Chains A and B, each alone.
Chain A
Amino acid sequence: MKVAKRTFDAVIVGAGGAGLRAALQLSEAGMKTAVLTKVFPTRSHTVAAQGGVAASLGNSTEDNWHWHMYDTVKGSDWLGDQDAIEFMVKKANEVVVELEHYGMPFDRTDNGKIYQRPFGGHSQNYGQTPVSRSCAAADRTGHAMLHALYQRNVRANTQFFVEWMAMDLIRNADGDVLGVTAMEMETGEVSIFHAKATIFATGGAGRIYYSSTNAFINTGDGVGMAARAGIPLEDMEFWQFHPTGVAGAGVLITEGVRGEGGILRNASGERFMERYAPNLKDLASRDVVSRAMTTEINEGRGCGSGKDHVLLDITHLSPETINKRLPGIREISIQFAGVDPIKAPIPVVPTCHYQMGGIPTNYKGQVVVPKDGSPNVPIPGFYAAGECACASVHGANRLGTNSLLDLLVFGKAAGETVVSDFQSGQLTLKPLPDDAADVSLARIARLESQTGGEDVHEVRLEMQRTMQKHAGVFRFADIMKEGVTKIMEVAERAKRTQIKDKSKVWNTARTEALELDNLIEVAKATMVSAEARKESRGAHVRDDAIDCAETPNGRDDANWLKHTLWYSEGNRLDYKPVTLQPMSADVEPIALAKRTY
């Protein structure tokens, strides 16, 4: 079957923060750049980011990149690559000031500098005291960032393909990446985007979990495409859970609620955090609070008829405080929990929030894989940035405000690498194989002809329930083992999905079926990688990992200080070393230590 072909210097998949930042670099260098996106760029999930972007500008308190590097390495529980982390924290000031020049309306100090506020895990002097490092635009940082970047891209003539769903990566016999296939939703037709460079910036896949703070678009499309094309996924067992998602809905209740005096209570009304974190109590770090809540629920002290959540109580605060200091919280609680938090506590559960793992890259944004005995060999023509990529700067646990920094720094870095390779003549348009679109056409044809198949919504729900139960906040050896068997069964069902509506034009059922193909790859990667990692580290917490001098917090550096690589083909695992040496020879590595706050 003949398919239309479009040719560009570069194709970028995804138009959130990372995709737009990368696109800008390319378009301003005069490269003919296409950006494919399922939704209008300013409706990407980056819009939901509130906290801000970390940079050691030192505008509000003394700060420097060495301290930021320390915090990030420690936050990652030493799984982050120290070369990439050094690169990111050193670039932070530059990318934030650039955004300011693009017109981003940052909050200001009285003397006109960018105002900075404190955020969990960020400190002065190597963990001594909290630092003000987060640059924000009120509670709409992500929104303002996307708008500034989008306008700038329009000026630079970036060509947007809006409401196009990328389907599959195109590789040749040597494994080089030559572009992607994509479906235009308006027509249902599949086209080839042939390019010298392909950048993935498709965001995370938080929708693999039943309880998730992520919007419905976060289906891990780039991660799934990479996995199906034979590229391993790195550290997929590490997912950050936010302690306070509204039970049953997932909508995030900001940490600010506990900052203003909100208290977590169990079924008997006890302020249980006093037992788990006697000093910081309800304000302990995200992973500590999430684990405490899960323990309460697991030990039968949960609330409600299902004993499946705890309560976030702000009834002791005055209505004025709630309305003035916690805008939006009352509306969220009324709409999604059916309770007015002025009168009754909000039911909450730890909720999947952020994907630390992803497509393996180096700090230049090049996708790297093991080859001929070397762990990090770039795949010619392929780059990735943002939540879909694993650079790896977040390691086993991400610090708040480091995600917006990640997408700016590595979006730009991927863009710079592509521009440099393009200008030096290293990037060429390699011939397309004859079967370039066959995989995608076969996927569409199967959906057309499938009979006696599975319902997309039911399979997706089964996947989400399986992940929630078997790869949640607390992980148990036998439950994870069972989870591997179960998720492989769900994956078999996902191969036989069926849709009733076979029309081509704006067929959203078909789009959702294609999204499930991506989600299920991520779910398998997560479940298998988690089952195999026999230690606790950052967000991966096993019940059977022992906290002792040799394995502090259950972390086993002797055996598990290494990155996981999961291959879809054969459901196979491999490992590669963590880069403990910073980028610069004169920067000391952050030495391994027990992670305590």
Chain B
Amino acid sequence: MTLNRGRVRWQCRRALLELDLVFARFLERHFDRLTDDQLADLDDLLLVEDHDLWAMINGSKPVTDDRWKEMVELLRAK
């Protein structure tokens, strides 16, 4: 099943400004080019609680699922 891109895009709206800013950059630069597989990985990553997600992106906590690593790298990219 193909995920709806609009739905995934909306779920990049988060509770923390830190994440909103990181996702804003990601949405502008990478989101439209994601393959369906990458989009599914992102959709999975977006289920992570905000404080944990931010900790993974800023590197203070390890990325606990290999499936998320590529997306976390894109989110980190300046």
Residues of A whose CB lies within 8 Å of any CB of B are 38-39, 42-48, 140, 143, 163, 185-186, 212-217, 249-252, 327-328, 331-332, 334-336, 503, 505-508, 511
Bound: A335/B18 CA distance, A: 9
Chain B residues within an 8 Å CB radius of A217 = 13, 15
Q: Given that A47-B50, A327-B60, A506-B4 are known contacts, is A335 also in contact with B22, CB under 8 Å in the complex?
A: yes
Chain B residues within an 8 Å CB radius of A327 = 60
Chain A residues within an 8 Å CB radius of B5 = 506
Residue among A43, A45, A251, A503 with most chain B CB within 10 A: A43
Taking CB atoms and an 8 Å cut-off, the chain B residues in 1-42 that contact chain A are 4-7, 9-11, 13-22, 24
Chain A residues within an 8 Å CB radius of B11 = 39
Q: How would you classify the secondary structure of chain A's contact residues: helix, strand, loop or mixed?
A: loop
Q: Are B17 and A48 in contact (CB under 8 A)?
A: yes
CB distance from A317 to the nearest CB of B (A): 18
Additional pairs, 17, CB under 8 Å, beyond known A336-B18, A508-B9, A511-B10: A47-B15, A47-B50, A47-B51, A48-B17, A215-B14, A215-B15, A215-B19, A215-B20, A251-B17, A252-B17, A331-B58, A332-B18, A336-B21, A505-B6, A506-B4, A506-B7, A506-B9
Q: List 6 A-B contacts (CB under 8 A).
A: A38-B13, A163-B10, A185-B10, A249-B17, A332-B58, A503-B6
B6, B17, B58, B60: the one contacting A506 at CB < 8 Å is B6
The list of the 8 closest CB pairs from A to B, nearest first, reads A506-B6, A331-B58, A47-B15, A216-B20, A43-B15, A506-B7, A215-B17, A508-B10
Bound: A213/B15 CA distance, A: 11
Q: Are A250 and B14 in contact (CB under 8 A)?
A: no
Q: What 0/1 pattern do residues 32 to 66 of B give for CB contact below 8 A with A?
A: 00000000000000000111000000111000000
Q: Which residue of B lies closest to A143 (CB)?
A: B51
Chain A residues within an 8 Å CB radius of B13 = 38-39, 43, 215-217
Bound: A46/B17 CA distance, A: 12
Q: Which residue of B lies closest to A206 (CB)?
A: B17
B22, B51, B59: the one contacting A140 at CB < 8 Å is B51
Q: Are B60 and A331 in contact (CB under 8 A)?
A: yes
Bound: A190/B13 CA distance, A: 22
Bound: A394/B46 CA distance, A: 35
Chain B residues within an 8 Å CB radius of A328 = 58, 60
Q: Are A213 and B4 in contact (CB under 8 A)?
A: no
Bound: A38/B11 CA distance, A: 10
Chain A residues within an 8 Å CB radius of B20 = 215-216
B7, B17, B19: the one contacting A250 at CB < 8 Å is B17
CB distance from B57 to the nearest CB of A (A): 8
B6, B17, B49: the one contacting A143 at CB < 8 Å is B49
Chain A residues within an 8 Å CB radius of B50 = 43, 47, 143
Residue among B6, B11, B58 with most chain A CB within 10 A: B6
CB distance from B39 to the nearest CB of A (A): 13
Chain A residues within an 8 Å CB radius of B60 = 327-328, 331
CB distance from A508 to the nearest CB of B (A): 5
Residue among B15, B49, B51 with most chain A CB within 10 A: B15
Bound: A140/B22 CA distance, A: 20
Chain B residues within an 8 Å CB radius of A39 = 11, 13, 15
Q: Are A505 and B15 in contact (CB under 8 A)?
A: no
CB distance from A456 to the nearest CB of B (A): 14
Chain B residues within an 8 Å CB radius of A250 = 17
Q: Which residue of A lies closest to B57 (CB)?
A: A335
Chain B residues within an 8 Å CB radius of A48 = 15-17
CB distance from A246 to the nearest CB of B (A): 10
Bound: A214/B14 CA distance, A: 11
Bound: A140/B15 CA distance, A: 13
Q: Are B16 and A215 in contact (CB under 8 A)?
A: yes
Q: Are B21 and A249 in contact (CB under 8 A)?
A: yes
Q: Are A507 and B51 in contact (CB under 8 A)?
A: no
Chain A residues within an 8 Å CB radius of B59 = 331
Q: Which residue of B lies closest to A218 (CB)?
A: B17
Chain B residues within an 8 Å CB radius of A249 = 17, 21
Chain A residues within an 8 Å CB radius of B15 = 39, 42-48, 215, 217
Q: Which residue of B lies closest to A216 (CB)?
A: B20
Q: Which residue of A lies closest to B21 (CB)?
A: A249
Q: Are A186 and B51 in contact (CB under 8 A)?
A: no
Bound: A505/B15 CA distance, A: 23
